[in-house]
Structure 1
Amino acid sequence: MTNQRGLALFGALLAVVGLVCAGIFVGLGPGEDLAGQVAGGLFGRGGDDDTSIAVDGSNGSATGSGAGRGADGQGLPHRASPAASGGWAGTWAAGAVGSEPDAPHGLPGRSIRNVVHTSIGGTAARVTFSNLYGTAPLYIAHASVGVAGGGGPSAVAGTMRRLTFGDARSVSVVVPAGRQTVSDPVALGVPAGSDLLLTLYTPNPGGAVTYHSHAQQTSYLARGDRTEDASGAGYDTRTPYWRYVTAVDVENRQAAGTVVAFGDSITDGIGSSMDGNRRWPNVLADRVRDSAYGRYGVVDEGIGGNQVLRDASSTRNGRSGIARFGEDALARPGVRAVFVDLGVNDILHGHERSGAPIVAGLKDLVRQAHAHGVRVVGSTLTPFGAHAGYNATKERVRDEVNAAIRSGAVFDAVVDFDRVLRDPYAPDRLSPAYDSGDGLHPSDAGYRAMGTAIDLRTLLGSHTPAAT
């Protein structure tokens, strides 16, 4: 056993031993065995319940917390207080892409301050923490949320809030490998179109870090527990990743629900300005907020390199679109509509030689959404003729997919991003005005053109699809 592996095992055992010695329980029923729950629940990835353990530092008790699975029969994580009943809407989200390559044992002794950008505002917030790609339990000793102040890791005075778990019984939580948890709601005035600081402290070595690699946003690290440090003085390390956090929901009595942008790197915003919030979903969120549909949050579930059909977690490009659609899109609170822009990577990296499997996969996403009464607007696949991976066969497959999408046989409505972005003199290529430089990803101007091409009435009109 190497020293690193030994440290990781020792850290995991410390967490479990501490819980067992304290006499905690994880929602045990009559006759259920605590040791079996610890062995199977903390270290196993199977089962149907997304369960975390909230640890009460005062008396050692714990309670099951977070997003469970199952009651709807669709395997979707439950979200407390959906928008339809409690005024909750998604204001930010990011799909988990895989395990961070340089952090196989976590970031012990570090405070991780993630900077994220809101869409809709509210009067309270709750944060989702994910250990989806973890290889050991994630012990969060302390977590907070605050409103960012003027750039960097500092918070606006008076806005830093400590997060709790398990109905305010604990400031700490253990998230089993492969699972996630949602914090308790905390009162906080969340401004629309602003930055939030999502901070957590992990004191012990653990498993691999679940992260989002192409954040296009600077976040920060500090040594020691600086979770509630509003000054940000100790955050001396910059990082381009989001770690462990995958969603923020806000309570807003006027909220009508959530719009999800679901896609690959083009939805993720690769090629846009760092810290500029100029992805096309950001443009869409700004337009929604300033329109008659301003009661909707817009969240970005784009993952660079993501495919409709194949799991690309091993290359840190996330699970297949079909596999993650339920959790990343349909489980968002009060989801009203999903915008899908996905399929280019099935051609570039999945090497599909026919458009038919990709079209079938996109239709599967629509079937999943319609089963929940959710409308799906989709886009054509954008040009990549100047990209290094281009060839005539791949262009033919793209044309096949686009022909099916334009026919109206796939989505409830279509936005033709291909025509928005392409060079009229070379239609297999991005317009030079919209190319970030790699022949595949749009520039800020290209993303702005995409975000403004979406008709809000088409996206959020009154039509609700019947289950199919």
Structure 2
Amino acid sequence: MAKVGRILAVLLLAVLPGLAAPALAHPQPAALPLWTGSWETAPSGTAAARPGAAIRNVVHLSVGGDAVRVRLSNRFGTAPLNLGAVTVALRAAAGPDALPGTLRTATFQGAPAVTVAPGQDTVTDPVPLRVPAAADLLVTVYTPGDSGPATTHQTALQTSYVAAGGAGRAADTDGADYTATVTRWYYVTGVDVLGDSAGSVVAFGDSLTDGNGSTPDTNHRWPDRLAATLRAGRYGVLNAGISGNRLLHDGVGPSALTRLDPDALDRAGVRALVVLEGINDIKGSPAADDVTAYADAYRTLVARAHARGIRVIGVTLTPFRGFAAYTDAREAVRQQVNGFIRTGGAFDAVADADAAVRDPDDRARILPAYDPGDHLHFNDTGMAAVADTVLKALTA
């Protein structure tokens, strides 16, 4: 594994110059610990508040560290959000139980509770807790009152847990009182770790990145598969996909251009941005068939990332013949947009997911082996194919 890490660190210099920690390529003293994003979800909308409840969110880290800090959001809320308690713990196994000895109380400038204004995010103080790579972390949030609509990520593809009578329950190691389940993430939008990680890669997109079509509770989204490989080089992977999101217009969640900073560029330790976004504009309403608009949007995304010293990988848009919104005219737009992604010179590298997942006998259709049945998204095998394609672009 150490040899894989050294090789990967050298290869990543092609697209991520200056990112590989020297210790990977040449034995040297460890660098100073840095904060790096280990897990993310992008806020996608709201759900009804759960006053008095404790919500135990299950999140899957990509890289480990010696401390964590948690990002929480009231971005889509309409009233001040009162967080009465927030705790973190390693998950014991499947279910809501915490690993004994790992539960920690998070604070906010030293206080155990915080009020978050509508439209705002907050970050906990550093929490001393050693977490391994690929660990499940329990982030429990207790909301004592009704703070109005809760900012959530709808398509979690992960079971989390709720204790209806939540007073004091955030501090429970035993999850026996967490008798209800939810499939959204409530309030939590990110976990950073403090350690020797080399930085993070943000996967930015729509439902294809969010993981629709993959098996729930297995972490088989393509960013998860990418994380499993990049872990050897000590890179975190952050999933900023939102199902229904659009490049040019607001859809589910703000448009890509609107949410780029909070969901990608402002995250900890970002070294590269992988963009797979645009298919919902092509197949959505109002019609978006001006290829120049896509090109301008992609160039804007890249320019803003470059201003932060972040490299950008463009991913070609994948086929969708057989999906209800497919038309030949929309397929023509997809082909033109992909032509720009491949040859327009906007991106630092290109991952040709279209070529990787299309049916060679019908290039407007996903290969049946990768199709979960809706002819738009990817099953677990298809997700792995996309991850491999992105990895090649990162290491070419």
Q: Percent identity?
A: 47
In 1, Cα distance between equivalents of 2:240 and 2:390: 17
1 or 2 for the larger relative contact order (CA 8 Å, sep ≥6)?
2
Contact 2:162 2:179 in 1 (8 A): yes
CA 1:155–1:182: 2 relative to 1, 3 Å: same
Match of 2:123 in 1: 182
Post-superposition shift, 1:411?
Answer: 1.0
Q: 1:429 aligns with which of 354, 365, 385?
A: 365
Q: Indicate conservation of the 8 Å contact 1:354/1:400, yes or no.
A: no
Task: Please list every run of 5 or more consecutive structure 2 residues that lacks an aligned counterpart in the other structure.
Answer: 1-30
Larger Rg: 1
Measured after TM superposition, the shift of residue 85 of structure 1 is: 7.0
The letter of the residue matching 1:321 is A
> What does 1:42-53 correspond to in 2, within 5 Å?
none
For 2:156, the aligned partner's letter is A
* 2:143 counterpart of 1:209: no
**Structure 1 position 265 matched with structure 2 position 207:** yes
**Residue pairs, 1:347-362, within 5 angstroms:** 347-350=282-285, 351-362=287-298
Q: Scaled by the length of structure 2, what TM-score is found?
A: 0.90
Q: Which residue of 2 aligns with 1:256?
A: 198
Give yes or no for contact 1:422–1:428 (8 Å, CA) kept in 2: yes
Instruction: Work out the number of aligned pairs and report it.
Output: 363
The match for 2:241 is: 302
Relative to the length of structure 1, the TM-score reads 0.76
Contact 1:93/1:247 (8 A) holds in 2? yes
Query: Structure 1 residues 141 and 451, CA, compared in 2 at 3 Å: closer, same or farther?
Result: same
Correspondence list, 1:411-430, <5 A: 411-430=347-366
Partner of 1:311: 250
C-alpha separation in 1, matches of 2:259 and 2:374: 28
2:137: which partner in 1?
Answer: 196
Tell whether 2:81 aligns with 1:142: no
* Separation in 2, partners of 1:247, 1:306: 19
Could you tell me which runs of 5 or more consecutive residues in structure 1 were left unpaired when the two chains were aligned.
1-83, 462-468
Structure 1 counterpart of 2:263, which letter? D
Which letter does structure 1 place at the counterpart of 2:340? Answer: A
Shift of 1:455: 3.4
Q: Is the contact made by 1:266 and 1:304 (CA closer than 8 Å) also made in structure 2?
A: yes
Aligned to 2:336: 400
Structure 1 residue 459, shift from structure 2 partner: 2.2
Give the Cα separation in 1 of the matches to 2:299 and 2:176. Answer: 50
What code does the residue aligned with 2:360 have? P
Q: 2:43 aligns with which of 96, 103, 106?
A: 96
Q: CA deviation at 1:207?
A: 1.4
Q: Does 1:130 align with 2:65?
A: no
2:382 pairs with 1:446: yes
**In structure 2, distance between residues paired with 1:245 and 1:92:** 10
Task: Give deviations 1:329-366, integer Å, cap 9, x for gaps.
Answer: 11111211011100000111142122221221111100
Q: Which residue of 2 aligns with 1:329?
A: 264
Comparing 400-409 with 375-384, greater Cα deviation is found at 400-409
Contact 2:76–2:118 under 8 Å retained in 1: yes
Q: Which amino acid aligns with 1:188?
A: L
How large is the Cα RMSD of the aligned pairs?
1.3
Q: Distance in 1 between matches of 2:161 and 2:395?
A: 36
Amino acid at match of 1:112: I
Matched letter for residue 388 of structure 2: T
Q: Tell me the SS of whatever aligns to 1:454.
A: helix
Question: Given that residues 144 and 227 in structure 1 are in contact (C-alpha distance below 8 angstroms), is that contact kept between their aligned partners in structure 2?
Answer: yes
Q: Please say if residues 115 and 195 of structure 1, whose CA atoms lie closer than 8 Å, have aligned partners that are also in contact.
A: yes
Is 1:342 the counterpart of 2:289? The answer is no
